[in-house]
Every structure is written in C-alpha cells, then in structure tokens.
A and B are shown apart, each in its own frame.
Chain A
Amino acid sequence: MSTPTPTGGPAPGRPVRVVLVDDHRMFRTGVRAELTDAMASGGVPACEFVGEAPDVETAVAVIRAERPDVVLLDVHLPGGSGQGGVDVIHGCFGVDTPGGTPVRFLALSVSDAAEDVIAVIRAGARGYVTKTIGARDLITAIRRVADGDAVFSPRLAGFVLDAFGAAAGEIAEVDEELDRLSAREREVMRLIARGYQYKEVAKELFISVKTVETHVSSVLRKLQLSSRHELTAWAMGRRLL
C-alpha cells in the first residue's frame, strides 16, 4: 500500500483519554458505567473519561480545553448550525492532543440513515459504531481510533459497498483510485459486513491485522475524499437539512 497509515496515539501503557458527547444524559451515564465495569473486569485497554458534553458549543469548549485522544461523538446533537456531530468536528479543526497527534472522533449513532453517517465520516470522524455495541467492543474501537486506525461497523461496511458500487461489481483498476474500492478493500469490507473482527478478517485473507487496518484506513480515506456521486449526494442532503 502506498497510503501511509496514520499512526501515533497514546503510548501503549497510558489510558486513552476520552470525551463523551451525547445529548442524552442517561446514555452518557450508561456508557460510563458500562465501560468502567468492563475495564474493572480486565482484559481490555484502559480508558479515562476526562469530560462530557450535551451539545455542540459545550462539546467544542470541552474538547479544546481537555485535548483528549478520542471523542465519542453522537451524530445528532442540539446547537451549532444544526448539523450535530459535523459541527463539533468542524469546530475542533486543528486541535491536537498534548502528545501532538490530532484529536480523533468516533461517531456513535442510533441512526440508520446513510446520509447522517456519511456526513460525519466525511467531516473527519475515523469510525462509526452503533449505540447497541457491547462495552468491550466499544473499548477496542476507542483504542483503535486513538491509534489512528479506522473503525467500521458491519452496517457502515454495507453502506460503503453500496456507495462505491462494489456490491454491484465495480472494482478499481489501481488502488489509488478514489471513486472505487480495490478488490482487496472490497474483500475486507465484505468480511466486516459479515460481522468479522479485524483479526478474523486477517485470518480469513491470510494477511496481518496491520494490513487489514491499512485497508480499512484506505477505505476511510476514499470515503472522505471521493467525489463519487452517491457520497456527495448524501453529504449534500445532510448539509441542506
């Protein structure tokens, strides 16, 4: 792969500093409690909650003050210019962690609507998971995003396959092509859509987990930069709302 994988993030031993942005207090409390329980039982990377926010303005202020490694970001939020999570990402443009890596966003949503998800990914989020995700999977996803990798839920992988026409058989001739997936990227997306973890994908395709992460990051980059009609239409639709 010629695409450089974004690296960095907190040192392996240090806990990931997390800010939680969601307008439902019950949900924030629930996530905190669940993650604390999961960490107490061990076997997962450590996270540390350094702040939370219920709306766009508070979120931007908290993130600029705390400079966390990862922001867990709800797609729908009150305040701002009405674009929810997209506004938060725009408002925190250029904010780095004390370690020098950019603050990274993981979108968390109940919405099935493709335009919501694609809009927040194109704004710069490094992943998307649904709110029904288990605590352990969520911690793994947080750590992965903190390390600069991308996190795709099965549903997002399905969106990607649809949006890039990969499900209909469109395959890029060269890996660098932004408007289509390469054959390997398509394989990885298909396995993620089937519910495979990264290490299972790696085993299935006889590649390393690191290579899987590289492929997923490359798909994320295409998702953010491609001018493919389906993607721009979705993003436009969200912006015009």
Chain B
Amino acid sequence: MPTPHEPAALQVTSPTGASLGASDPAGATGAAGAAGGSATPARAPRPPRPPLVRSRGRGWTPGVSAAVARHLGVSVTLVRWCFVGLAIAGGAGIAAYVFLWALTPEDDGTNSAGDPVAGTLPAERRQWGAVVAAGGVLVVVGAVLLTPVLGGSVIGSVLFPLFAIAGGAIVAWSNLDEAQRSRWLGSGQSRFGWMRVALGAGLSVAGILVLVTRGESVAAVWDALLAAVAVLVGTFIIAAPWALRLFGDLRREQVAAARATERADIAAHLHDSVLQTLALIQRQSGDAAAITRLARAQERELRSWLYAGPQGSQSTLAAVVTEVAHDVEDVHGVAIDLVVTGDRPLEPHGAALAQAMREALLNAVRHGGSPVTAYVEIGPSGVEAFVRDRGDGFDIDAVPPDRLGVRQSILGRMERHGGTARVRQREDGTEVELRLPAIEGELP
C-alpha cells in the first residue's frame, strides 16, 4: 500500500504542511502540504508524522476524525468539534468530512499506526455504526434547519435537499467501503448491505427531486424528468456490456495477481529453506551423518509448512511433544518415528511428561538402535507415552546411582507429577512407558 506513506514522506521534508492541513482539512491528504512546503523555510527536523490512514472498526464512525487527529497530532475531540462547527456554519465541515472519507486510504491492519485489535470487531456492528452515524448527521442537520434563527426560505429549499443528497451518498458510500473490503460483492455481502444502498439511493433521489422542483409540483418537471430517465436508461444499455467486460477483466486480473503472489510466496519459501539445505548438502557431501540430519530437518520443516493444521500453536501437549522429538532428532541425527493421537492444553503435568519423554528419547538415541519409535496417546483417561528403541538396552538396576538421567529425570519426575514410568527390557530393545492420570475437572 504505497499511498498512505506518501503524505508522511512529504511531511517529513516539509513539516510546515501541518499548518496548512489544520486550516484546510482537505489539504491534509498531502497534495496541499507538498505544494505549500517549498515556499516556507525548513524548520528543525521532527519525528515523521504518522501517515493519514483510517483504521477501520475503531468505533462506529468511518474513522476520519481519528485519522486526521493522529496525523496532525491533536486530540480527536478537537477535530470532531471542528467538523461539527464547520458543518453548522454553512456545511463546509460535512463536505470536508465526506471528501476525506472518500480519499483517505484505509489501514488494512498491517500498519502499526492502527489499533491492533481494531480488525476484530464484527462486520455487523460496523455496518450498523455507519447507518447510525449517517442518521445522526441527518438529525443534527434537521435540527439546525428547523431552528427559527437560521430557518429561511433559501436554506429550506436549497440546503435541505443538498443535505439529503449528501446523507444518501454517505449511506450508499459506506456500503462501497464494505464492498471494497470484501473484494467487490464477495461472500460478506449481506441483505442489510443492499437495503442500505436502496435507502441511500432513495434519499439522494428524493433530495434531487426536491432541489429540482423548488417547491413547485412534480408535474412541472415531469417531462424533463422523463427525458433524464430515458437518457440514463439509454446510457446504461450502451455502457452495460462495456462495464461488464471491464468488471470481468478486473476480476481476471485480480485472480492472476493473487496466483502470482502465492507463487512468489512459495518460491520465496523454497528458496529460503529447500534450496539453502540442498546447497549445504552439496558442500558437506562427504559427511553422511550431517546429510541425513540436514535432510531430515528440512523434510520436517517442509512438512510442517505444507500440512500445518490447526494444532500449530505451541500451547498444546501434542505440539510440545512433537517439538521435543524434533529437538532430539536434530541434536543426534537419529530419525524418530513419532505418532501422536489426541491433544489437550499444556499444563505442568503434561510439560513434565514431555521432559521425561525427552530423557527417554535421548537414552534411546544414545544407547539404543534405530528405528526409534515414539507413540503418545492423549485421551480422556490420561496420557500415555511410549518410547521404543531396538538396541541392547540398559538395565535400570545396573545404572549407577550418580547417573541421574533415568532415575531422576524419568522415574522421579513422573512420580512427582502423579504419574508412573516403567522401563521394559525386551529381546530386541528397550521400551519406556510414561503414564499420567486424567486431570480432574478438565476432561476434554
């Protein structure tokens, strides 16, 4: 999004644009700031001004006042009162507001200037908010017009319809705002959105009618109205195919652009990961163990990138156990076949089991033989973990007391957390079994 940064860049070179922007809200879009900047001498450098962007969903307003306030570094309330004051004194405030609304780009959430939680507001609330805002503006305008001090024939016949048109436009435009966000009438388009378009259009048409008739009867302008409608319909018929084609082209281009972006993302990822690893492998082609380790680590990374499921977060037991196995694999270069079923949030007992499992895996890769297999079953009746190797194994009673690995790290740790651990000597290897009982009151 290059546009939002443009004004900021201009403002840095000519900080005096601030005064222009304050006196004329429209100038804050950057054009006026740039034009006036060269005429005034430069002042001491200041920190760069935040770009003039609206952050959607801050409340129920389109965020123009907040954007202007943030950009100029003044309070939001002050900006709002300025707009209201200008609106009462002849309507310039409304024009400026609508103008800024239409021309100020919207922050898509990636910009740090916006509120980080701004994007989480539900769309429905924003939609209602826009209508409430438009209605509020209309009520204020109506109240102002009805006061006898300001009320007059000129205001009644010209300003009121103008406001009605503006109000209608606001209501309809707020919908365009939404539509842009949901990629041109995408799935997010609700019946409510269409209702609002109809409402806005009706309001504008009524305003235009009142303005044109100037209090006379509709019959007086009937012929002209008919002719205008005929021209409009004719234009629509002529322009429709062209517009449709343009729309189709636009969609095609958007799809192509999306594909290109996706492709670029994949290419970038492959370059960072697979190609780098392949280069490393070529350089270390003499060291078989290193190649195996590199290939294994890369395979895992690529898999997690391709098949990353909903359990990608690090706060579940399954994720932690998987990470533990990967760590051991990385350090010792021995492949570990890990199967995990079920999942549950991580708590101290689960973490202890993961640590004990790390020790068991380390023992298996150090003293056992491959393949090392690990199976973790996380169920409502508890957690069970099995680590198995195919080596000669070790005798738990023969382990000297100073070797704390098995005794403390596995057996002791599991017992401290209410679980059990067992080391089984098999004909062709060793199997460590770790068990944790279910957590009370936290059954999934």
1/0 per residue, CB under 8 A from B, across A161-202: the answer is 110000111000000000000000000001001111000000
The answer to whether A193 and B342 touch across the interface, beta carbons within 8 angstroms, is no
Distance A169 CA – B307 CA, assembled complex (angstroms): 26
The answer to the question of B340 belonging to the interface, with a C-beta cut-off of 8 Å to chain A, is yes
Q: Are A161 and B373 in contact (CB under 8 A)?
A: no
Q: Please choose the segment from B19-27, B59-67, B375-383 that sits at the chain A interface, where 4 or more of its residues have CB less than 8 A away.
A: B375-383
User: What's the nearest-Cβ distance from chain A to residue B90, in Å?
Assistant: 60
* A193 and B303 contact, CB distance less than 8 A: no
Interface residue total, chain A, C-beta cutoff 8 A: 18
Q: A112 is contacted by which of B307, B371, B375, B378 (Cβ under 8 Å)?
A: B307
Judge whether B378 and A193 touch: CB under 8 Å: no
Determine which of A132, A158, A169, A194 lies in contact with B388 in the assembled complex, contact meaning CB atoms within 8 Å.
A194
Q: Does B335 contact A (CB under 8 A)?
A: yes
Tell me if B163 is interfacial: C-beta within 8 Å of chain A.
no
Contact of A167 among B303, B337, B341, B386 (CB under 8 A): B341
B379 touches A112 (CB 8 A): no
Pick the contact of B339: A132, A155, A168, A169 (CB < 8 A): A155
Tell me the complex Cα distance, A169–B342, Å.
11
B343 to chain A, nearest CB (A): 10
Q: Mark contacts of A109-138 with chain B using CB atoms, 8 A cut-off: 1 yes-contact digit, 0 otherwise.
A: 001110000000000000000001000000
A189's nearest neighbour on chain B, judged by CB, is B341
Interface size class of B (residues with CB under 8 A): 20 to 34
Find the residue from A111, A154, A167, A169 having the highest chain B CB count within 10 A.
Answer: A167
Chain A neighbourhood of B386, CB < 8 A: 194
* Set A112, A162, A195: member contacting B341, Cβ < 8 A: A162
Q: Judge whether B339 and A158 touch: CB under 8 Å.
A: yes
Q: A167-B341, A168-B380 are in contact. Are A158 and B375 (CB under 8 A)?
A: yes
Q: How far is the CB of A112 from chain B (nearest CB, A)?
A: 5
A169→B375 contact, CB < 8 A: no
**In the complex, chain B residues whose CB is within 8 Å of the CB of A111:** 307
- Mask for A149-165, Cβ within 8 A of B = 1, else 0? 00000110110011000
Tell whether, in the assembled complex, residue A195 and residue B335 are in contact, meaning their CB atoms are under 8 Å apart.
no
- Tell which of A154, A193, A196 has the most Cβ of chain B within 10 Å: A193
Q: Which residues B343-394 have CB closer than 8 A to chain A?
A: 371, 373, 375, 377-381, 386, 388
Point out which of A111, A157, A194 has the most chain B C-beta atoms below 10 A from its C-beta.
A194
Task: Please judge, given known A-B contacts A132-B335, A161-B341, A195-B337, whether A168 and B379 are in contact too, CB under 8 Å.
Answer: yes
Interface flags, A17-46, vs B, CB<8A=1, else 0: 000000000000000000000000000000
Cross-interface CB contact of B377 among A112, A113, A154, A167, cutoff 8 Å: A167
* Cβ < 8 Å to A, chain B residues 66-93: none
Bound-complex Cα distance A194 to B374 (A): 6
Number of residue pairs spanning A and B whose beta carbons lie under 8 angstroms apart: 49
Beta-carbon contact of A158 and B340 below 8 Å: yes
Determine the distance from Cα of A38 to Cα of B427 in the docked complex, in whole angstroms.
24
CB neighbours (8 Å) of A162 from chain B are 341-342
Is B371 in contact with A195, judged by CB distance below 8 angstroms?
yes
Most chain A beta carbons < 10 A, residue from B375, B379, B386, B388:
B375
The CA-CA distance from A198 to B174 in the complex, in Å, is: 67
Pick the contact of B379 from A158, A167, A196 — CB < 8 Å? Answer: A167
B375, A195: Cβ atoms closer than 8 Å: yes
The residues of A that contact B339 with a CB separation of less than 8 Å are 154-155, 157-158, 193
Chain A residues whose CB sits within 8 angstroms of the CB of B303 once the complex forms? 112
Provide the residues of chain B in CB contact with A169, threshold 8 Å.
379-381
With a cutoff of 8 Å between Cβ atoms, the chain B residues found around residue A112 in the complex are 303, 307
Q: Is the CB of B335 within 8 A of A154?
A: no
What B residues does A155 contact at CB under 8 A? 337, 339
User: Which residues in B have their C-beta under 8 angstroms from that of A194?
Assistant: 373, 375, 386, 388, 431
Residue from B337, B342, B378 in contact with A154 in the complex, judged by beta carbons closer than 8 Å? B337
Question: What CA separation (Å) do A193 and B375 show in the bound complex?
Answer: 6
- CB atoms of B377 and A195 under 8 A apart: no
Residues 291-329 of B contacting A (Cβ, < 8 Å)? 303, 307
Complex Cα–Cα for A234 and B224 (A): 64
Interchain CA distance A162-B386 in the complex, whole Å: 17
Q: How far is the CA of A168 from the CA of B342 in the complex (A)?
A: 7
Which residue from B307, B378, B388 sits with its C-beta under 8 Å from A113?
Answer: B307
Q: How far apart sit A158 and B307, CA to CA, in the bound complex (Å)?
A: 16
> Digit string of B210-253 for contact with A (CB within 8 Å is 1, else 0)?
00000000000000000000000000000000000000000000
Q: Which residue of A lies closest to B426 (CB)?
A: A200
Tell me the smallest distance from the CB of B433 to a CB of chain A, in Å: 9
What is the CB-to-nearest-CB distance from B193 to chain A, in angstroms, rounded to a whole number? 29
For B429, give the chain A residue with the smallest CB separation: A195
Taking A158-B339, A161-B341, A195-B375 as known contacts, 10 extra A-B pairs with beta carbons closer than 8 A to each other, sorted by chain A number, are A112-B307, A154-B337, A158-B375, A168-B380, A169-B379, A169-B380, A190-B377, A193-B341, A195-B337, A196-B388
Which 7 pairs show the lowest CB-CB distances between chains A and B? Answer: A195-B373, A158-B339, A167-B341, A194-B375, A194-B386, A167-B342, A193-B375
Taking beta carbons and an 8 Å cutoff, which residues of A are in contact with B?
111-113, 132, 154-155, 157-158, 161-162, 167-169, 190, 193-196
Instruction: Please name 14 pairs of A and B residues whose Cβ atoms are closer than 8 Å in the assembled complex, sorted by A.
Output: A112-B307, A155-B339, A157-B339, A158-B339, A158-B340, A167-B341, A168-B379, A168-B380, A168-B444, A190-B377, A193-B377, A195-B371, A195-B373, A195-B388
